[in-house]
Every structure is written in structure tokens, then in C-alpha cells.
Amino acid sequence: MWLSGIMTKRIVSIESGASLAEAARRMSEENVGCLLVIDDGRLVGMLTDRDIVTRAVLEGKDLEKCKVGDYMTKEVVTAIPQTDILEAAKMMNAYQVRRLPILEGREVVGIVSIADVAAYAESILGEVAKSRKR
């Protein structure tokens, strides 16, 4: 199965020039743990709640003055909708990432989390267990 079958199509993003305080508010309002950083329609990074805490809060930075672009992860591992789920799981493990933005060309069309992959694996295992009981 491809990532297109399990990806979340709801994209929550922010621009790199926004403040970390604005990013934190957006994460809270949208109930998400990461924001895709998109400038001029192009993915330029990813910012997680952990990035904010470990890179700014613990250092006592003023979140209103800190810019997303200075704290985001710039090298984002991505996939395409036609990536096989097992291949994506291997990528996530190899690069030690919990989320994969899904791109078609340069456009972000979705995101897959490790939880999405785990839920899919659990559903497959459930089907195997059911078929063995018959």
C-alpha cells in the first residue's frame, strides 16, 4: 500500500519569518506537534514543539523575538504519495524522524506520522490474526 492511503491531507503550516510564539499558538490552536514551514508555496523546513522547547525555551529566549526560520529543521526528509508504507517506515527509522511530509512536485499534499504507519501495521496484524482463527 502507498502512503497516499494513510496520509493526513490537512496541512498546518507557518512561514519562516513568523515568531516562535506565533508558532506555539498555532500548534496549540490546531492541536498539532509540528508545523510545516512553507515560504512562497515551497517547503523550507519543519518546526516541532520539541524544537521550540529544546532550542529556545530552555535557553530562556524571548519567543516573540525568535523567528521560526532560525529554529526549524531545514533538511526535511520527504516522500511522495506513491511511496510504499514499508519503505517509508524504513526511511523514518534510518533518518530517525517521526513525520514525513508528502510532496507532489514541490507542493505539500499530506503528512504521514509514525503513528499513521503503526496504525496501518496494527490493522494488517489484526487481519492476519482473524484469518488464522478461521
Summarised one tens digit per residue, pLDDT across range 5-18 is: 999 999 999 999 99
- List the domain boundaries for the chain: 3-133
For the record, the C-alpha cell of 53 comes out as 522547547
Facing residues of 19 across strands? 67
Q: pLDDT at residue 101 above 90?
A: yes
pLDDT at 127 over 70: no
Percent of the chain past pLDDT 90, that is, above it, reads 88
How far apart CA 61 and CA 50 sit, in angstroms, is 14
CB within 8 A of 24, min separation 6: which ones? Answer: 49, 52, 63
The confidence band for 65, taking pLDDT boundaries of 50, 70 and 90, is very high
Are the CB atoms for 12 and 32 separated by under 8 Å?
A: yes
Q: Does domain 3-133 have CATH number 3.40.50.1000?
A: no
pTM of the predicted model as reported, rounded to 2 decimal places: 0.88
Confidence of residue 130 (pLDDT cuts 50, 70, 90): low
Distance CA 51, CA 68 (A): 10
Q: Give the per-residue pLDDT at 128.
A: 61
Residues in the chain: 134
Does position 129 have pLDDT exceeding 90, yes or no?
no
Q: What is the mean pLDDT of residues 55-80?
A: 96
35 neighbors 44 (Cβ within 8 angstroms): no
